[in-house]
Amino acid sequence: MMLENLVMLAFVAVLMFCVAFGVPTAAALIAGYVIFILYGMKKGYSVPSLLKMSWSGLGTVIRILFIFLLIGILTALWRGAGTIPEIIAVSAGLIHPSGFLLLSFLLNCAVSVLTGTSFGTAATMGVVCMTMGSAMGVNPLFTGGAVVSGIFFGDRCSPVSTSALLVSELTGTDLYGNIRRMLRSCLVPFVLTCAAYLALGAFSRGGSGAMDVKTMFSGHFTLHWILLIPALLILVMAAFRAKVKYTLLASAAAAAVCCLVFQKMPVPELIRLMIFGYRSEDPQLAAMMNGGGFLSMVQVSVIVGISSAYAGIFEGTGLLLGIKRYVEAVSRKITPFGGILAVSVVTSMISFNQTLAIILTDQLTKDVEPDKEKRALALEDTVVLMAALVPWSIAGNVPISTIGAPMASLCLAFYLILVPLWNFARALTQNRKNFERN
């Protein structure tokens, strides 16, 4: 047990060093992988057997790596086609000083559901809301909290969210079934969050400043309601429970047509867009729109792949057995959901990224909650959101930096806080009822 503790401490130390000195996450995870390989060798396992364990862990997620790459291509096409500019232009017209914080939350929820990405939503609708909030004189602390809450609504339950796909694959559950259960478990927190931002907005009324994003976009894109079709296809095909890869391909095909027909994009430029993502020479537009593309998801895929390889080594060498026993003991006292919540707080704080936090939490709590569907829901209600509340985690730091909000805005990201707390309270209540019944 002493060796296992030292290994985990060494791993955390490496991650902290890499974060402190700006070393890329993938490089940090590779260093961690070397540490776990050395641990396995110390325990008497051969290198080929450790590589086999790594491959078995990678095998649990390899099917979704292709989907991740498709998502990268899709987000680039949506940018180039003018789909995202059209969404933002239409949405921005709905923002008024009255109820600004509530509208900011709801609009970021909507965009994040359509795009499935918290970072992409922060860089687009999030930036728009922050800019408008500043023009209206709204406290950026409040606006930042509303934006962060909204961008992780879709990150948690969008059919094209990488975290939702990862949880589905790890637990062997149906993505759309998970989304249906997620919508039920977040209903009360969602309503409470809306009420909180409505009340907070009443105390932070500003002026009537606005940001004319339509004029900015119209100088670079042909805007038309038809450009919304690629996004609407996501919702329609998800409603009919179409396979995610077919949904993504249909939306990408529609967006490619929009690029060619509406934006008059040459075919070579379209291919470049899909590979390298959207790039603009206009600084203001680039700040909001640059990104996407096949290559943008390579690093994400590498992070998921390495983290999954960890899982194989953990399982094969029993590295986490001691911690698992402690987690099980705690869970018996505070319910399985409480145990998963407690683990998610720790893993989010030590892993510095959402992907590894999800995989570690799943590994440590498989025996705590053997029901796959319940465990998938618990992961979505805990670690997916907890990672965003850690200031030094990529999930929390990048969106806050992107929109230019104070880090203290995380304390006002009510949705991220209320979902785990509400469901923990429900678990405790149900546990008490079961105890009284028996």
Q: Structure tokens of 305?
A: 């792949």
Q: Would the pTM count as exceeding 0.75?
A: yes
| Residue environment code for 201-230, b if the CB has 16+ CB neighbours within 10 A, otherwise e | beebebeeeebebbebbeeebbbeebbbbb
Task: Using the Cα atoms of residue 390, residue 396, residue 398 and residue 401 in order, give the sign of their dihedral.
Answer: negative
Res 208: pLDDT: 55
Give CA–CA dist 426/378, Å, rounded.
12
pLDDT of the residue at 34:
93
Partnered with residue 195 across adjacent β-strands are none
Identify the CA nearest to 168 among candidates 203, 116, 97, 130: 116
The Cα–Cα gap between 116 and 7 comes to 35
Which of helix, strand or coil describes residue 136?
A: helix
CA distance linking residue 269 with residue 253, whole number of Å: 15
Q: Name the one residue in this structure whose structure tokens are 């546990």.
A: 431
Nearest one of 317, 336, 337, 436 to 386, comparing CA atoms: 337
pLDDT at 361: 94
> How many whole angstroms separate alpha carbon 158 and alpha carbon 116?
5
Name the residue type at position 187.
L
Per-residue pLDDT of the chain (438 residues; tens, 9 = 90+): 678 888 888 988 888 888 778 788 788 889 999 999 999 999 999 999 999 999 988 887 787 888 888 888 988 999 999 998 888 888 777 777 778 899 999 999 999 998 888 888 888 888 888 878 877 788 899 999 999 999 999 999 999 898 999 999 999 999 999 999 999 999 999 999 999 999 988 876 655 555 567 787 888 888 899 999 998 998 898 888 888 889 989 999 999 999 999 999 999 999 999 999 999 888 888 877 888 889 888 888 888 888 889 889 988 998 888 888 889 998 988 999 999 999 999 999 888 788 889 999 999 998 899 899 999 999 999 999 999 999 888 888 889 988 888 999 999 999 999 999 999 999 999 888 776 666
Question: Which contiguous run of DSSP H or E holds residue 216?
Answer: helix 213-218
Could you give the CA distance from residue 130 to residue 363 in angstroms, rounded to a whole number?
Answer: 38
Backbone φ and ψ for 150, nearest 5 degrees, come out as -70, -40
Cβ atoms of residues 225 and 86 within 8 Å: yes
Q: How far apart are CA 427 and CA 433, in angstroms?
A: 10
Q: How far is the C-alpha of 20 from the C-alpha of 83, rounded, in Å?
A: 37
Q: What is the largest CA-CA distance in the chain?
A: 70
Q: How many CB atoms lie within 10 A of CB 196?
A: 21
356 token code pair: 């590894």
Q: What is the DSSP letter of 219?
A: T
pLDDT for the residue numbered 54: 92
Q: Taken in order 220, 119, 301, 12, is the CA torsion positive or negative?
A: positive
> Angle CA(82)–CA(124)–CA(294) in degrees, nearest 5?
65
Are 180 and 187 spatial neighbours (Cβ–Cβ below 8 Å)? no
Radius of gyration of the chain (CA): 22
pLDDT on residue 2: 76
Are 291 and 271 within 8 A, CB to CB?
no
User: What is the structure's pLDDT at 21?
Assistant: 82
Phi–psi pair at 278, nearest 5 degrees: -80, 135
Tokens (6 digits) for 208: 């009537």
Q: Are 169 and 64 in contact (CB under 8 A)?
A: yes
